């Protein structure tokens, strides 16, 4: 089945046309600067085809979707003859709130449930709604499926998802830990379960999704029992430009000192902290590695903080699960940065963790799942490249098939 996977941001729309039989990407691209001057589409055939860039006005997500469809069916740069070949659209949804806890077909009721998330995740939700409405207008006969990033975390017990604030804040404002990057945690943990023998029952895995945004999850019996991101993706470990968990008093202290409004403080914690804030160089780990190589000592700090924090999560999640079978590293940094992985796994013999430094050093994203632990290590340590689009396309296919 050919499924169009859509990831809509406020002024962008990323897409991948996926063939679920061959599990390959037929085409992918991004529409940028939607609704503002300088809109353009960047398109490529297959995973690594030559980039085709076309500057073309797109006043909203409906126009952007129409341009995606016409590009995909274009005789020269396209990969299909007609849009009828697209049997489903799978939308990546960042926040499903307390109502949307599994993949679902778009209906009026589902849209109403998603609109309820405007309160807790305004920017992402507004963008998703524009993307969904755009696709519904451009492809009125194609089923639309939502695949929700918070869904995989909906199995957490109360003691993991409740914050120690008055209970009525949970009841009235739905303040709780939701967790994010769920589609990635789901994919890599299910791959790890296959490696461990295929039976989810009895498995204890810590999945580390370490990219620009990062989160760690404890997956027991194939279900999330805890995760580091919380009410929003700001919680947990240090990230590219997000601070992660900090003493809550720092928030009010800085607001008073700097005269920040709540919105300015939120912008500060999301955009000015993390790797960028600590290094005062960049939010990108590759820039920091380069600076370290050039002798900048400060540039080393963010990675050391991150490695130490991941270590602490692994320890606490092993305690929460009463054991640990495997650790998985994934996403931009997790798949590519051997230094970070080595720092995390060093001095963890106490837990029975031992990595093969040589194999770890050689492992970069190469499409395969790679074991970086030694044969003696009690805990298996793997690098598993994430593939959220594959999961989204698979979910969309399953839902559409169930309608037949």
In the complex, the smallest distance separating the C-beta of residue 66 from ligand ADP, rounded to whole angstroms, is 27
Look at the alpha carbons of 340, 342, 343, 348 in this order and tell me if their dihedral is positive or negative: positive
Q: What is the DSSP letter of 196?
A: T
Name the one range near ligand ADP by CB under 6 A: 52-60, 138-146, 206-214, 223-231.
206-214
Q: How many residues bind ligand ADP (CB under 6 A)?
A: 12
Cβ-based neighbours of 13, under 8 Å, separated by 6 or more: 6, 7, 30, 31, 34, 61, 64, 65, 68, 131, 134
3-class DSSP state for residue 11?
A: coil
Name the one range near ligand ADP by CB under 6 A: 71-79, 120-128, 164-172, 210-218.
210-218
Q: Is 212 in the site for ligand ADP (CB under 6 A)?
A: yes
Q: Is 333 in the site for ligand ADP (CB under 6 A)?
A: yes
Cβ-based neighbours of 272, under 8 Å, separated by 6 or more: 241
Of 48, 84, 113, 149, which one is the catalytic site residue?
Answer: 149
- Restricting to residues 236-255, which ones interact with ligand ADP according to CB under 6 A? 240
Of 106 and 328, which has the nearer Cβ to ligand ADP? Answer: 328
Cβ-based neighbours of 84, under 8 Å, separated by 6 or more: none
Indicate which single residue of 29, 213, 274, 302 sits in contact with ligand ADP (rule: CB under 6 A).
Answer: 213
Site string for ligand ADP, 260-299 (x = CB under 6 A): ------------------------xxx-------------
Is-contact 208 334, C-beta < 8 A?
yes
Element (H, E) at 13: strand 13-19
Of 69 and 210, which has the nearer Cβ to ligand ADP? Answer: 210
Name the one range near ligand ADP by CB under 6 A: 13-21, 48-56, 205-213, 306-314.
205-213
Name the one range near ligand ADP by CB under 6 A: 70-78, 79-87, 261-269, 333-341.
333-341
Indicate which single residue of 337, 363, 377, 387 sits in contact with ligand ADP (rule: CB under 6 A).
Answer: 337
Indicate which single residue of 78, 96, 97, 211 sits in contact with ligand ADP (rule: CB under 6 A).
Answer: 211
Q: Is 336 in the site for ligand ADP (CB under 6 A)?
A: yes
In the complex, the smallest distance separating the C-beta of residue 282 from ligand ADP, rounded to whole angstroms, is 9
CA gap 300, 203 in Å, rounded: 35
Minimal CB distance residue for ligand ADP = 332
Put residue 352 in one of left, alpha, beta given phi > 0 → left and psi -120 to 50 → alpha.
Answer: left
Of 344 and 399, which has the nearer Cβ to ligand ADP? Answer: 344
Name the one range near ligand ADP by CB under 6 A: 79-87, 101-109, 112-120, 328-336.
328-336
Indicate which single residue of 34, 135, 318, 331 sits in contact with ligand ADP (rule: CB under 6 A).
Answer: 331
Cβ-based neighbours of 214, under 8 Å, separated by 6 or more: 208, 228, 236, 237, 238, 239, 306, 331, 333
Of 78 and 240, which has the nearer Cβ to ligand ADP? Answer: 240
Cite the DSSP H helix spans in 81-164.
108-115, 122-138, 158-161
Residue count (the chain): 404
Q: Is 332 in the site for ligand ADP (CB under 6 A)?
A: yes
CA gap 312, 325 in Å, rounded: 17
CA gap 51, 392 in Å, rounded: 24
Active site residue 149: yes
CA gap 284, 239 in Å, rounded: 9
Map tokens 């902290």 to a residue: 273
Cite the DSSP H helix spans in 154-205.
158-161, 167-173, 182-195
Interacting residues toward ligand ADP by CB under 6 A: 211-213, 240, 284-286, 331-333, 336-337
Residue positions annotated with a catalytic role = 149
């Amino acid at each position: 089945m050919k499924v169009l996977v859509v990831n809509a941001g406020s002024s962008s729309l990323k897409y991948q046309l996926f063939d679920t039989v061959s599990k390959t990407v037929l085409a992918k691209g991004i529409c940028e600067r939607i609704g503002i001057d300088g809109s353009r589409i960047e398109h490529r055939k297959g995973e690594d085809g030559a980039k085709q860039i076309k500057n073309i006005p797109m006043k909203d997500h409906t126009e952007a979707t129409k341009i995606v469809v016409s590009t995909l069916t274009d005789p020269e740069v396209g990969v299909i003859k007609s849009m009828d070949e697209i049997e489903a659209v799978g939308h990546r949804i960042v926040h499903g709130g307390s109502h949307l806890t599994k993949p679902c077909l778009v209906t009026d009721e589902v849209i109403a449930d998603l609109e309820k998330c405007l309160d807790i995740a305004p920017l992402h939700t507004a963008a998703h709604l524009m993307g969904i409405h755009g696709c519904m207008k451009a492809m009125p006969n194609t089923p639309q499926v939502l695949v929700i990033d918070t869904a995989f975390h909906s199995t957490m017990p109360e003691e993991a998802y409740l914050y120690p604030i008055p209970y009525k804040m949970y009841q009235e404002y739905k303040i709780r830990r939701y967790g994010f990057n769920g589609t990635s945690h789901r994919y890599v943990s299910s791959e790890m379960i296959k490696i461990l023998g295929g039976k989810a029952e009895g498995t204890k895995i810590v999945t580390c999704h370490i990219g620009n945004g990062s989160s760690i999850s404890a997956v027991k019996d194939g279900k999330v029992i805890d995760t580091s991101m919380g009410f929003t993706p700001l919680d947990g470990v240090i990230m590219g430009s997000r601070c992660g968990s900090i003493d809550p008093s720092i928030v009010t202290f800085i607001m008073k000192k700097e005269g920040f409004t709540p919105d300015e403080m939120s912008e500060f914690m999301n955009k000015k902290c993390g790797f960028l804030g600590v290094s005062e160089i960049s939010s990108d780990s590759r820039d920091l590695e380069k600076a370290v190589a050039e002798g900048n000592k400060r540039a080393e700090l963010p990675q050391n903080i991150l490695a130490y924090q991941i270590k602490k999560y692994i320890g606490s999640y092993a305690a929460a699960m009463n054991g640990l079978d495997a650790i998985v590293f994934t996403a931009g940094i997790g798949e590519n940065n051997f230094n970070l992985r080595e720092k995390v796994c060093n001095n963890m013999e106490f837990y029975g963790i031992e990595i093969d430094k040589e194999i770890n050093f050689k492992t970069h994203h190469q499409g395969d799942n790679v074991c970086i632990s030694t044969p003696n290590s009690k805990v298996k340590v793997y690098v598993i490249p994430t593939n959220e689009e594959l999961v989204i396309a698979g979910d969309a296919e399953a839902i559409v098939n169930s309608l037949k």
